[in-house]
Amino acid sequence: MLEYQAIVEKIVINGHHGPYAVARSEDLGLVTFSLDKKVWQEKDFPEPGILVILSDIRKKRAGWRAYSGRFFQPYDSI
């Protein structure tokens, strides 16, 4: 599964379908991902400016959506 590095730009706590984040990837542009436990693998929510790893990416009518996300770790290559 391909993974993409992205910088979190915005967190929306009270979204229509629950909390979500928007991040910018050099490869894809803006990518949205849910902060639900099924998608976001960490116990804490990310903050704007944080580098994250996104995967299971799908193109939707409104743009790119990631169905798996986590914090960037030291073992990830830059």
Domains in the chain (CATH in brackets) are 3-71 (2.40.50)
Q: Tell me what pLDDT residue 78 has.
A: 64
Q: Is the overall model pTM greater than 0.85, yes or no?
A: yes
Say yes or no to pLDDT of 1 above 90: no
- Residues 12 and 32: beta-carbon distance below 8 Å: no
Q: Tell me what pLDDT residue 61 has.
A: 92
Residue 45 confidence class, pLDDT cut points 50, 70, 90? very high
C-alpha span between 31 and 57 (Å, rounded): 8
Print burial letters for 11-41: b (CB count within 10 Å at least 16), e (below 16): beeeeeeeebbbbebeebeebbbbbeeebbe
Q: Tell me what pLDDT residue 62 has.
A: 87
Q: Provide CB contacts within 8 A for 69, sequence distance 6+.
A: 21, 33, 39, 40, 41, 52, 53, 54, 55
